[in-house]
Amino acid sequence: MQITQETPADWWEVEALFDLCFAPGREALSSYRLRDDVPPVAALCLTLRDENGLAAAIRYWPVQVGGRDALLLGPIAVHPTHQGEGLGGWLIRESLARARAGGWARVLLVGDAPYYSRFGFALCEGVEMPPPTNPARVLGLALVPGAWDGVGGAVTKAVPQEVSG
């Protein structure tokens, strides 16, 4: 198995994996509204392949939490033939290490606390995902000590970066 950065040529294969692994209508979830018309953080969108093809994939998106930059982890999926092999954990650990090295301070996700707590994620009180997100599933991880201290409020789309000339 090899982890590589997702390329534009991988996009539809990754989308097909997400469709396979998630219920129909996944794009109706509130987290997808934060991704609409916003490019993912390419350096953190990773794929894991074996000799049979795509085994797992993870994506990250830039968001704002109360006006502060954060990463939104997700989706992440492991092909059903590879579930239970630790591939999701491998992708999470590798992508978080890359995010930290890339200067990101905080990561946010909507997910199951018992699973994501093993990577250091904890309930993000005071962080408001768009409805109808269950607040008990809003989890955060500080990549820099104290990165979530005093950070709260609405989660919104990332502010487009200005291009300087």
Cβ partners under 8 Å of residue 81, min gap 6: 52, 55
* Mean predicted confidence (pLDDT) in 99-109: 97
Residue 162 has a pLDDT of 44
Cβ partners under 8 Å of residue 32, min gap 6: 26
Q: Is 140 exposed, middle or buried (0-12, 13-18, 19+ CB in 10 A)?
A: buried
How many residues belong to the chain? Answer: 165
Q: Is 151 helix (H, G, I), strand (E, B) or coil?
A: coil
> For all residues of the chain together, what is the average pLDDT?
91
Q: Domain 2-153: give its CATH code.
A: 3.40.630.30
Residue 105 has a pLDDT of 97
pTM across the whole model: 0.91
Q: Model confidence at 145, in pLDDT bands (50, 70, 90)?
A: very high
Residue 97 has a pLDDT of 98
* Mean predicted confidence (pLDDT) in 133-149: 95
Q: 136: which 2 tokens? A: 């008990």
